[in-house]
Amino acid sequence: MEYTVKKLAQLSGVSSRTLRYYDQIGLLKPARINSSGYRIYGQKEVDRLQQILFYRELEVSLDEIINIINQPTFNQIAALKDHYSHLEKKRARLDTLMATVEKTIISKQGGKPVPDKEKFEGLKEKMIKENEHKYGEEIRKKYGEDTVNNSNAKLRGMSQEDYEAMTNLGTEILVLLKRAHETQDPASDIAQELAAKHKEWLLFSWPSYSKEAHAGLVEMYVADERFTAFYDKTVKGGTQFLREAVLIYLGMDKEGTS
**Per-residue buried b or exposed e for 199-232, using 16+ beta carbons within 10 Å of the residue's own CB:** eebeebbbeeeebeebbebbbbbbebeebbebbb
Would you state the pLDDT for residue 34? Answer: 94
pLDDT band at 128 (very low <50, low <70, confident <90, very high): low
Band (91; pLDDT cuts 50, 70, 90)? confident
CA angle, 155 then 112 then 101, to 5°: 50
What pLDDT shows up at residue 94? 72
Q: Which domains are present in the chain?
A: 3-69 (1.10.1660.10), 78-158 (no CATH), 159-258 (1.10.490.50)
With 0-12 / 13-18 / 19 or more C-beta atoms within 10 angstroms meaning exposed / middle / buried, residue 181 is buried
Among the listed residues 51, 54, 39, the one whose alpha carbon sits nearest the alpha carbon of residue 8:
39
CA neighbor of 117 nearest in space, from 93, 98, 100: 100
226 band by pLDDT with thresholds 50, 70 and 90:
confident
The distance of Cα 205 from the centroid of its chain, to the nearest Å, equals 17
**Mean of per-residue pLDDT scores for the chain:** 84
**In this predicted model, which residue has the larger pLDDT, 231 or 60?**
231
Mean pLDDT of 83-101: 74
What is the pLDDT averaged over residues 35-63?
A: 90
**Shortest CA distance to 231 belongs to which of 148, 173, 187, 190?**
173
Q: Output DSSP code: residue 113.
A: P
Confidence of residue 138 (pLDDT cuts 50, 70, 90): low
pLDDT at 136: 65
pLDDT digits (tens, 9 = 90+) for 111-125: 666 555 555 565 666
Strands 39-41 and 3-4: antiparallel
What pTM did the predictor assign? 0.48
> Which position has the higher pLDDT, 125 or 28?
28
